[in-house]
Amino acid sequence: MWVRTLLALLLCAVSFSLCSQIPLWGYHFVDKNLTWIEAQQFCRQHYHDLACVSSSEDNLRLPRSPGYSAPVWIGLYDDPTDLSEWKWTATNSSGSFENWDSRFSQPKYLHDTQQCGEIFSNKWGSFNCSHLQKAVCYSGSSPKVFHMTPDRMSWYDALTYCRTHHTDLALIENAEENTAAAAVAYPAGNFGWIGLVRSTGKWSDNRTVAFTAWSHELSGAQDYDQPFCAAENNENTWEVFSCEERRPFYCQEEPKTFRFVKMEFSGHGLDDPAMKQQILDEIQKRFEAAGRTDVKIKWKTAPEKQEKKNKKKKPDCPLNV
């Protein structure tokens, strides 16, 4: 019974120790001119993956080679023709019904500025999310009832307004609902925000894109209707290029961390090597069952205890009379 209790305590302590830290990825500049796909393959073979950047701090840690000023591949890419990346805010899914205007059958992509959906003249388009215009909200379910906002606002403000006063920004799941939503927006000649939004590209390691650093000079200046890949320039901002271009690149190395859990126990059998190995094997199995195959567990004897263990006991000196 006490062995099970010990295992539970050790698992809790080790799990908390592992989850409470956020290790930093290591970045490496590779001075080889490869296409984005070739660079990805190289990084996966020799490191972990192409560099993926989660924060401004990570972005500044990318180790630019002295004297090299041209943009360098990072792990961000996008395919604007992939309509599955458009999600409805109410369901966080793409749905099966689409009604893009012919000019937007493959919506153009202006870096991170044209990622929000709108409805006009019974068709859908995409526009800069910060643009101020009215929005179409909905409430109910069978049937949905659509409402036009009284004021113009950004897409993000419209989302908050609709969720506060109704159910959400318009969720359009069939032709009848599309006609009803358009009837609310278009009689007055309005373009209206709807609940479509597109994620900003993908990282090579499938990490969520939570941070971007697009160049101010380029952001929104060009549109793209073909797959493209991102590269960081010498000002620590990002530009987009054809993925077939050849450039040096940044790889990321998966962090290797060591974590010690200090616990003191006393009890029968804890000094038995077989018992200690049994405990290690059980903990290892628990982590592997939880998908944590990256975790390796081992015992480490504290230095002071090891010293005491190795220290020989001095014999008592007999007292001569």
Answer yes or no: do 70 and 107 share one domain.
Answer: no
- Is 168 part of any domain? yes
The predicted structure's pLDDT at residue 291: 56
The predicted structure's pLDDT at residue 321: 36
Beta bridge partners of residue 135, listed in sequence order = 193
**How do 192-198 and 86-88 pair as beta strands?**
antiparallel
Answer yes or no: do 232 and 278 share one domain.
Answer: yes
Tokens for 210?
Answer: 């939570």
The predicted structure's pLDDT at residue 260: 56
The predicted structure's pLDDT at residue 185: 84
- Is 47 part of any domain? yes
Place of tokens 């500049």: 29
The predicted structure's pLDDT at residue 79: 77
Average pLDDT score over residue span 193-219: 79
Range of the domain at 266: 25-77+227-285
Average pLDDT score over residue span 6-26: 53
Q: CA 73 to CA 264: how far, in whole Å?
A: 49
Higher pLDDT, 65 or 145: 145
Q: CA 224 to CA 243: how far, in whole Å?
A: 13
- Is 321 part of any domain? no
**CB-based burial of residue 26 (10 Å sphere; 0-12 exposed, 13-18 middle, 19+ buried)?**
middle
Q: At residue 31, does pLDDT exceed 70?
A: yes
**Cβ(107)–Cβ(100) below 8 Å:** yes
- Is 303 part of any domain? no
Answer yes or no: do 126 and 147 share one domain.
Answer: yes
CA angle 36, 205, 105 (to 5 degrees): 70
Answer yes or no: do 100 and 56 share one domain.
Answer: no
- Is 247 part of any domain? yes
Say how many domains are in the chain: 2
The predicted structure's pLDDT at residue 311: 55
Answer yes or no: do 92 and 191 share one domain.
Answer: yes
- Is 14 part of any domain? no
As a dihedral over the C-alpha atoms of residue 95, residue 101, residue 102, residue 107, rounded to 10 degrees, the angle is -70
Residues 6+ apart with CB under 8 A from 131: 154, 155
Highest mean pLDDT among 70-79, 202-211, 290-299 belongs to 70-79
Answer yes or no: do 257 and 278 share one domain.
Answer: yes
CATH number at residue 31: 3.10.100.10
Answer yes or no: do 148 and 243 share one domain.
Answer: no
Dump pLDDT digits (tens) for 105-143.
445 544 444 578 999 888 998 888 888 999 999 998 889
The predicted structure's pLDDT at residue 20: 38
- Is 187 part of any domain? yes
Answer yes or no: do 87 and 193 share one domain.
Answer: yes
Answer yes or no: do 157 and 242 share one domain.
Answer: no
- Is 8 part of any domain? no
Dump pLDDT digits (tens) for 249-289.
999 997 765 555 555 555 555 667 777 777 778 777 776 67
Answer yes or no: do 182 and 274 share one domain.
Answer: no
Q: At residue 21, does pLDDT exceed 60?
A: no
Dump pLDDT digits (tens) for 207-233.
878 788 887 544 443 455 667 899 999
Residue 9: how many other CB atoms lie within 10 Å: 13
Beta bridge partners of residue 291, listed in sequence order = none
Answer yes or no: do 280 and 237 share one domain.
Answer: yes
The predicted structure's pLDDT at residue 263: 56
249-285 as b/e, with b when 16 or more CB fall inside 10 Å?
bbbbeeeeeeeeeeeeeeeeeeeeeeeeeebeebbbe
**Cβ(73)–Cβ(39) below 8 Å:** yes
